[in-house]
Amino acid sequence: MDDFDSRPIVVGVDGSAVSRAALRWAVDEARRRGCAIDAILAWQGGYGMMIGAVTPDLLAESTPEREHDRWRRVLDDAVADMDAGGGIRTVLVTQDAGPALVEASKDAALLVVGTRGGGPVRSALLGSVSAHCVRHAACPVVVVREPLPRGDTSSMVGSGTFATPGPLL
């Protein structure tokens, strides 16, 4: 196995259906390549704000430790039913997803992310992790789109998976 083959496939996971599809795609590709997978879930704390009366129970549930535990369960659940021959290493980081995945791409053979296809307005307002990764990753990027509803062929353009040849400047 040469140096390229020994690097893992990094995949972004957030518990959504499309991130699970991206993880399945990564597992299949890792089997073909004979490499491991790093499943990364990045979560950013501190964005929430509570307005109104806050009960002690609600306040106790919103600690950083509980949030960390909750995201750990999401990540563990996502990889639990995946059969990856080379193994899946789970990585939980407290950071914005885009920068976390770009950083991980520096040591990766491939970066795999999912996208819901929110469109340009939503991406401008909320940001797009997949677009950020395509623009800044240090390795080739595969973007797995949310599957169309069964039997819906109205928009076959843009469905499925596409890959970039590497970092796009």
- pLDDT by residue for the chain (169 residues), tens only, comes to 454 468 999 999 999 999 999 999 999 999 999 999 999 999 887 645 555 666 777 666 678 888 899 999 999 999 997 876 658 999 999 999 999 999 999 999 999 999 876 555 544 444 589 999 999 999 999 999 876 566 655 544 444 555 555 554 4
> What is the signed CA dihedral for 57, 62, 66, 71, rounded to 10 degrees?
130
pLDDT the model gives residue 118: 55
- Report the C-alpha gap between 128 and 111 in whole angstroms: 15
pTM score over 0.85: no
What does the domain layout of the chain look like in residue ranges?
3-46+64-163
- Report the C-alpha gap between 159 and 169 in whole angstroms: 24
pLDDT the model gives residue 159: 47
- Report the C-alpha gap between 40 and 97 in whole angstroms: 9
Architecture of the domain delimited by 3-46+64-163: 3-Layer(aba) Sandwich (3.40)
